[in-house]
Chain A
Amino acid sequence: MPQIELAGEMFDVDEDGFIQDPDRWNEEVAKSLAAGEGISEVTDEHWKVINYLRDYYLKFGIAPMVRRLCKETGCNLKRIYELFPSGPAKGACKLAGLPKPTGCV
């Protein structure tokens, strides 16, 4: 399994750069993942989305549907892509330390 250094520590990641142990996530990890997803600075608006995803995942064990994410954070899909250019799944979920989305993608 590949490893990368994030915020001074080594992390197991898969080929797509999703961290394998969601419990080891912290804000510094999110910040160091940001550049790879085309994000120069993690703003409060980014944190709102990341924290929502994280809370939802910890509560329900899955990522929320996109519509729900938009509704609850008040960011429409266009705004989400402005914040996370690679989108809610590849961008936001990765930064939030959630497992890789699966299915017929």
Chain B
Amino acid sequence: MLGVLELSYREKIGHWKHGGIVGVFGYGGGVIGRYSDVPEKFPDIAHFHTLRINMPASWFYTTEALRGLCDIWERHGSGLTNMHGSTGDIIFLGTSTPELEPTFAELTNMGFDLGGSGSVLRTPSCCVGPARCEWACYDTLKLTYDITMHYQDELHRPMFPYKFKFKMAGCPNDCVASIARADLSIIGTWRDKIQINHDAVREYAKKGKDIQSDVINNCPSKCMKWDGKTLHIEDSECNHCMHCINVMPKALRPGKDRGACLLIGAKAPIMEGALLSSVLVPFIKMEPPYTELYELVDKIWELWGEEGKNRERVGEYIQRIGLGNFLEMIEVEPIPEMVAHPRENPYIFFEEYFEDDDEEGTDE
């Protein structure tokens, strides 16, 4: 491995062949096949396939689990890993085709399964959530696990036009970058008042925090006031940016009526340019069994699965057919929260309605 990397540094070119289709029986993904283009020089890495292993939500491990994984990989692979891939999977880096099935058998015996690759639901991932964060507005770990189990078929057997990713963030700080790296970004939020501990606010002030300049003046919606004694927040104007909570974590907390905002469509630049996710549902309760979420996801997949072009991400599909048409087909009402600004051009489509007695409108 070091030999081929050295060669690549000298020649400034990669030495892996194009593509590679390997896998395990029963699954259409999870393994990324890779072959060296200089196998005579470096026979040990002539095959150098990668396995994606579905990680536990938020990457919490016991040493027992990690030792088990290391033992398996030492027996069957290169011993190199990536902890973790950007989507979240544990990456086993480098093995040969005959080792794939035995590795997979040992992994499943230990309770681990492969993650996703190809035109599938990719491995869902989440921030640390309520396990260690007081701002988590829903149980990101539980939802991540639930989605993973609920959609095992979609994760292991490619049937989409292209890949689809979920990421779960407990609050708008978005510590898994869901808004940039998930086709469906689920970001925790609340819809009542920010909880204020006034004594703790005064304590911050006493200890030298300049509340006016560090908090009030930085509020993007200018909905806060501070008279030196009491902090006032006009919650109806608050856009939940998290700044004041981030600055005074001992004094401020998200509200009690918590849930999440669903945003759709993020992707990297290929083909039509990079996209961040945009609002689809401003607020939805996030409690098991997540029926409302799954019903919406099923509708989106049914539509995009049927009409999406080969290798067209859902964000591009929405751009192609228009948000209005998309919403109509998944039966979601258009609302102002979905746009940053109304359109500025007048090229507006209207649906044609013909009354029964409107003879001019029909050719019959």
Contact = CB atoms under 8 A, between A and B. Distances in A.
Contacts of A70: 159
Interface residues of B, dominant DSSP: loop
A77 B158 CA distance: 9
Secondary structure type dominating chain A contacts: loop
A86 B157 CA distance: 10
Contact of A16 (B20, B119, B158, B311): B20
Interface in A35-71: 38, 62, 65-67, 70
B21 A101 contact: yes
Contact of B306 (A15, A67, A86): A67
Interface residues of B, number: 31
Contacts of B118: 89, 104-105
A87 interface: yes
Q: Which among A78, A85, A105 has the highest number of chain B CB atoms within 10 Å?
A: A105
B159 A105 contact: no
Contact of B21 (A62, A78, A81, A90): A90
Contacts of A101: 21
A15 B26 CA distance: 21
Contacts of B158: 66, 87-89
Nearest to A88: B28
Interface string A71-92: 0000001100100011111100
Interface string B151-177: 001000111010100000000000000
Given A81-B157, A89-B28, A15 B311 contact: no
Interface string B13-39: 000011111111111110011010000
A103 B119 CA distance: 9
Given A85-B25, A86-B23, A102 B18 contact: yes
A11 interface: no
B20 A86 contact: no
A100 interface: yes
Given A65-B310, A87-B28, A77 B157 contact: yes
A15 B47 contact: yes
B117 A105 contact: yes
B157 A105 contact: no
Contacts of B32: 105
Given A65-B161, A66-B158, A87-B158, A105 B21 contact: yes
Interface of B: 17-29, 32-33, 35, 47, 97, 117-119, 153, 157-159, 161, 163, 305-306, 310-311
Given A15-B33, A105-B29, 10 more contacts: A15-B35, A67-B159, A67-B161, A77-B159, A87-B27, A88-B28, A104-B118, A105-B19, A105-B20, A105-B32
